[in-house]
Structure 1
Amino acid sequence: MAKLFIEQAKQYAKTRPSYPQELFEFIASKTPSRDLVWDVGTGSGQAARSLAGIYKNVIGTDTSLEQLEFAPKLPNVRYRQTSPVISMGELEQTVSTQSSVDLVTIAQAMHWFDLPAFYQQVKWVLKKPHGVIAAWCYTVPEVNDSVDSVFNPFYTVDSDPYWEPQRKLVDDKFMTIDFPFEPVEGTDNTGPFKFVAEKMMDLDEYFTYIRSWSAYQTAKAKGVELLRDDVIESFKSAWIKDGQNQKVVKFPVHVKIGKVGNI
C-alpha cells in the first residue's frame, strides 16, 4: 500500500485536508484519560498535529518514510516507520506495552489494513475497558454545483478503473467495514458519524489534490493521463463560473468509533 503514495508524498501533505477540530473534540470526549495515542497510518501527520494539542503523547506510525518526512515535528509526537505487517514484538517495542494506550486513531487508512490481525493488536494495546478506537475516512470533495457536475463523472467513470478495490469501503463511508467494538458512552452504535473538513483551494491546488490520488498515479504508470486537456478545460470553465478562484472545498468525514470493553 505504501508504494501507492511514495511518488506524491509532497502533494499529499500539501493538499489533503486537516480534519475539523469538532471531530477531535468528539473523540476526546469519549476517552476517560488523555495520556497516549497511537495514530496508525499517520502519513504526513494531518491527524497527529491535532491530537498533539489534546493528548499528552502521540505515537504516529507509518510504513512510508517518504510520508513521514513531511509530518509536523512536535515535541510530544514521536514518529516511527514500521513493517507493513507488525508483529506483537514490534508493536510493544515501537508503540507501547499491553493495555497502555488510551486511543487508537486511523485517518483515511484503515481500508488498507489486514483488519483481523490489526484488531487483535488494537485490543491488546488499548486500556480496558474504556480504551477507544476511532477510524475515519473522507469522501469526495464538494465545491459547488458547477464544479461538482464535472468532478462526479470524472471520479465515477474516468478514475474508477484505477482505484484499488479497497476504495469501495471509503465510498461506502465505512458503513460496510468490519468494526468489532462496543459503542462508546453517549452513543447507541459505532457510527459512522459525519463531520465536515474544509480547505481553501484555488484551481491549481484542486488539480494537485487530484494528482495526489493513488488512482492518478496508477493511471499514470499505465500511460493514462486522467487530467487530459479536455478535462482540464471542463474544470476551468466550471471553476471560474462564479468569478472566484479561491473556493471553500468541503470534504465529508465519516468516523467509526468504539471502545475495547472487557476482553
Structure 2
Amino acid sequence: MDRQAYTKSCSPPNDNQAPMESEHGTTPVVQNRDTQSSPTSPSVDNEPLISLEWSLNPSAHSSSNETAPVLSLFLTLHARIPITIYNEHLDPSRLLSEGRFSIFDLTTETEVPQAKSRFCDFEPPSKVHVPLRENMFYTLYPGIPTPLRTSFGRGSKIRPRPKEENQEGDGSKQAMAKGVHGLAIGHRYRLTIRRTGGWAPVRWWEYGEREEVINPPTGRLDGRKVAYRRAQNPHDGLPVDGSGLVPILFQCIE
C-alpha cells in the first residue's frame, strides 16, 4: 500500500466549497485515491474507530444571502487501513431533517422549535427488489477527515427566510425553523447535537476501498442484505466518538 496516501495533511478541507446534493441532500467530498488497500483485517488490538468534528461556514448569516451557511460533518478514521462504511445515520442532511440538532437562542434564552421529518427504514416484502444504494457507501482513510456537507436551511435551492418574513403564529411545519431558516435577525444562537446516550455504532462496514467492497470476488453485494439483514453484517458495529462536536456559536444579521 502507498504510505503517501496516509501522510498527507489531515486538516479539514475548505468549508467555502458549496454543498452537493445527494439522496438525503448531500454528497461527501472525498479526495480521489490511486492507492490499493489490502482486504486483510487488522488484529483485534487495532479495532477501527470513527471520530467526529463539525463546522458551520459562515458563522454570521445575513438575511440578504440567497443561500444558507454550509454545515460540515467530518469523519476521521482511526485504523491502520481504509474501510468502507454504509452510511445510514451520519448524514448531516438527515440529522437536520430529523431534528437531531438543538438550536438555542442566546438572545432570548429559549430553545428554537424546528420542523422535523421521520425516515422509515422498514424492509419491503420479499417480492420487492431492493437495489444496492451505492451512494451510501463511503471509503474512510486513516487520519484523513472525510467531509459530508449540507445546506443549513430548507435546502440549497431555497432562500432561507428570517423569522420576520416567515409564516408567523400558525404552528405549521412551514412556520417552524430549519437551520437558519426562520431565525430572528440580530439574535445569537448556539448549535449542539441531541445525543444523550452517545452515538450508535456504524452498523455495516468492511475493510477495503469502495469498489472492492461493493464488488468482492464472491459477487456483488446484495442490496437487501446490506440494508436490512443485520444478522449478516460482516462485522460488529463500528464505534463512533462524538466528543469532538463542540457547540457552535453563530448569529443572524441584516
Identify which of structures 1 and 2 has the higher relative contact order when contacts are C-alpha pairs closer than 8 Å and 6+ apart: 2
Q: TM over 0.5, yes or no?
A: no
Q: TM-score, normalised by structure 2?
A: 0.21
Give the number of the structure whose residues are more often strand, by fraction.
2
TM-score where L is the length of structure 1: 0.21
